[in-house]
Amino acid sequence: MIGDEILTGEGVALQVSAASVIARAGAWLIDAVVTGIAAVAGVVLLLSFASDRLDSAAGTAAIYALAALLFLVIPATVETVTRGRSLGKLAFGLQVIRDDGGPVRLRHATVRALVGFFELWLLFGGLAFLVSMLNDRGKRVGDYLAGTYVARVRGVRPTNVPLHLPVELSGWVQVTDIRPLPDALALRARQFLARANQFPPPVRHRLGLRLAAQLELYVSPAAPFGTHHERFVAAVLHERRARDQRALDRTRPRLEAQLAAITTLPYGVPDSES
């Protein structure tokens, strides 16, 4: 199984690996048992309370509505709300993520649920098992169409995303004015650098140019002519972090002095506890 990274909202990368087919099958069996119990309970309730009030056509429509609720609406809603988790996946420490490592949205969960109804339920999981065995990430047909896969996230260790200053830009950053960056823009830029190798070349080039153009609005003077956009982004983020650290180091003695003054009694009164 291959390894990938999930980047959290704090800019921390989690090393994850694609879930095995056996783990996915076990998680699905748990979800299937829960769905089966809910289906039996729903049918019993329909027969108990609505059999005398609904004709055959209305009863059939109610059964179809119950099936849509159990096999489509609820799975898609659960995966969307829990960011790719379900009861079975929680038990096995799994999570559905996008191919680029981001969290799944309603669109991804809906596609997975729609295709899963056919390949998991109508075909008894045979097609899903066969397709999952033929690729490194264990993706079923629904994952291919949704652009997702299931990763094992239990026990993963967080690692900080490194920032490096390109050597050719070390002189430029010393004389550059970098205004405060919006947190959302800085996070997007850091996520891009962490996942750049995972993007197709055209997508990587387009995203890099867009981020560089947004960062240029907060930088003066501009980077030397011919600077690659990704190296420009890395230099801006590295220098921003270095300047924040230097500012913190300058204010630390004053803060420590203020904290010491707070704990000192006025007018030289001795402290009985010291």
Average pLDDT over residues 155-180: 77
**SS3 sequence of the chain:** CCEEEEECCCCEEEEEEECCHHHHHHHHHHHHHHHHHHHHHHHHHHHHHCCCCCCHHHHHHHHHHHHHHHHHHHHHHHHHHCCCCCHHHHHHCEEEEECCCCECCHHHHHHHHHHHHHHHHHCCCHHHHHHHCCCCCCCCHHHHHHCEEEEECCCCCEEECCCCCCHHHHHHHHCCEECCCCHHHHHHHHHHHHHHHHCCHHHHHHHHHHHHHHHHCCEECCCCCCCCHHHHHHHHHHHHHHHHHHHHHHHHHHHHHHHHHHCCCHHHCCCCCC
pLDDT of 225-274, one tens digit each? 889 999 999 999 999 888 888 888 888 888 777 777 776 666 555 655 55
pLDDT of residue 14: 52
pLDDT bucket at 45, cuts 50 / 70 / 90: confident
pLDDT of 86-101, one tens digit each? 999 999 989 998 887 7
Percentage above 70 pLDDT, the chain: 85
Average pLDDT value over all residues in the chain: 83
Q: What pTM was computed for the model?
A: 0.55
